[in-house]
Structure 1
Amino acid sequence: MRISTVTIFQQSVGSLNRQQADFMHLSQQLASGRRVVSPSDDPQAASRAVAVGQAQAVTEQFADARVSARNALSQEESVLNSINDAISSAKALMVQASNGTLSDADRQSVASELRGIYETVIGQANATDGNGRYLFGGYQDSSEPFVDTGNGMTYQGDDRVRHQRVDASREMPVGDSGRDIFLSVPAGAGYVAQQGNVDADGTVLGDNSGSVTFKGPQVVDNSDPGFGQRYQVVFGEDTDGNPTYSVKQQAEDGSWQSAGVDDQPYDVEGTSVEVGGLRLELQGEPANGDSITYAPAREMNTNLFHSFEKALAVLENPAETPTEQAALKNTLSSVMREFDASLDNVLTTRASVGARLNELDVIDSVSSNRELNYSQTMSNLVDLDYNQAIAEYSLRQVGMQAAQQAFIGIRDMSLFNYL
């Protein structure tokens, strides 16, 4: 076999190029900190790394979604806190206004303060987030959910609420409907009484003309078979013109039927009515045909704005006659109970918001552990072992220098030197 000078040069240059390529590859690994610089370095690891990288990207997207959800829920919680304070202040004003020593001017002053609180509640009900969307309008978040149509505040939002996927298996509501907050009460709310004949949605169909006032109702036996039903005390007269009362119970078809208390003598100095596990204290002069309706709060007025409007109506008008004074006392008593039910509803919603915020914290913690596992897996797949790489880098460097020196020695060898 003939070994020519060209062959020697070609083999030497090819060897130097291969060693230079290996040396440069190690340099790339050291510079990037990655063992798998290109898929050809380890196809299986590169394939798995793509899948892990995609999972990491999805996890990061869910983390961004949780940040958005947390901002929305935190803002809602702040607004609900303000509404909670407003209702508490309004209830305190109701207690103050119930003081019999106040004059009409004093009640006007209380009404002025109450109206300011009312306007605050309306403003909070129509609050927006940082993007201009209304918090309590549901999907109708581009316009005010509560509008004064001339007959009081009307809800024009959507009963549905926006949801956001905060994890692969969790889609969380990031808001609440204004109807659920301002026009509803908890299922477990107590009883509310109101003078006059009141229909199923809390609208007064007929008012009283006498001066009878009520206190309660108070629960005395919640195991009574009639507890939870709707009742009405109706006043009449016996043959001698003395006042009497009967208690009616509303049937499923909406009709009023006797509750077993009919044409009982009524004492204007004070009469206690017990039926259905409830006690209602009555006092004052009733007129023939007057009535007092009491039912679970969810079946009476559940409109927080209407409660404010009722209170303002009686506080801003003089209460001079016994009938007007009785209406004032009864309305304030009803409104205080309605405020209690509305406050419980706001607190229930606020607790739900707090629970969702806590859930986001838990999901964040689980996601952090998942991300740590992904990072560890990715490191095991593609990250570089620096100790091994540096040792191999030094070895390659020595090998390349040796190859260069050998090539220099061979390059100078020629038969012409011996001719």
Structure 2
Amino acid sequence: MKEPVEEFTLEIGEGLNVSPGSARAAGAAPRRRRSSPWPWVAAALALAVSGVAISPGGERPDPRPPQTAWTHPSTPGRAPGAWTLEGAPVVASSTGVAAFEPTTGAELWSVPLDDPACTAAAEQLTCVHGQGEGAMMATISASGTLHEEPLPGADIAMAYDGDLLVGGLEPERPWLGRFTAEQPRREIWRVRAERPSDAMRWQGMTLSQGVATVHSGRDADGWARFGMAAEVETGEMTTAIVLAPGGSSGFGAGPPLGADPDMLLPLAGPGLDVPGRPEAVVNRRGVFTEADGDPLLEVNGFSLAAYGDDIVAFTADPGAPPEHREVRIERLDVRTGESLWAIPLDLVATCPCARSADTLVLTDLVEREDPPEFTSPVRVRALLGVDPEAGLLRWRLPVTGPPDAFTADVGRLYVLAEGTLTAYATR
């Protein structure tokens, strides 16, 4: 068993530069902190909300919202989710998992499960339903084929490299482990939280750049209540960073006092493939040769998504005065630092994100209270559809709050919110 590590939450507005990997520094005191965009971003928000112009660096786009194609009711459970598997939207609800025909919304298949938590990998879902000794794992293919087997103590699971990553309870004491998928199942490693958490059960699991993270449900402001993370190869516990609209919640082996948590955040989704540098690490502040390595590209803002040798980032002009500061989405070549395109914005675009072959879907934020109160919660005002190749803002979908989940496919956006799955035609 690995040494337990206490939780912290990243404070809004905090952060100084620190090398990646410093979250593992010995003797770091446990803290509860939250992280959000930097003060210059808050200043940009303040100016925009108060009516002061922010120079867009060109004519502002006026994208239309995508057209609604169809809707379908969905009863939210403990872990509402939406994915696109082989072109079809698939939704997890309190009663099970269902897939729908992309054009008409007709149900293609459904699998009844008791309030599952699901993850997606290799065009199939891994869902855990039931609790304690009665917990079951259901593997569901894109065509709806179901395979079930017992997984006692599990609360969520993900397929990885022929094994299983599992988040569980023992009892009420969170743990994260890696096990062989084949029976009889063998434990490869398991780490446990030092104390019980009253924020259970597990709701989500992510795998990014070799780090597995599990987190519980979110509070009213969208922040995760509890999380754990470990390196999948070694089981070494590390900082759990859970993306939320406008920032991130952090738990685990927290950064030293004064550290910038955004330096520790691995970019959600596939890692960046830099030719000749497969060990490159991408976090919100840029791309580095490796953990604790030298910068290949530093971002004056934060990274959003990786595309081959490039990253798409939210950036700003550091030399301009606040009343004329340009904020934008920008695609940058990691090898040269060249800007391939830039899209001017009014406010802040960030993740959680979704992506398809032709679209990157971002969340667009606005402050709920006047800065410089950096602890003010932020809210999602829209989803933005960006063409990552052409560098165009294709559409903007207004929303009243953060969706439970959203996913994208070529020409389609699927949003799960307030008990309804809505399909939009995006081209």
Q: Which structure's residues are more often helix, by fraction?
A: 1
Asked which structure has the greater RCO (Cα within 8 Å, sep 6+), the reply is 1
Rg bigger for which structure? 1
Same-fold status (TM-score > 0.5):
no
Question: TM-score of the superposition, structure 2-length normalised?
Answer: 0.25
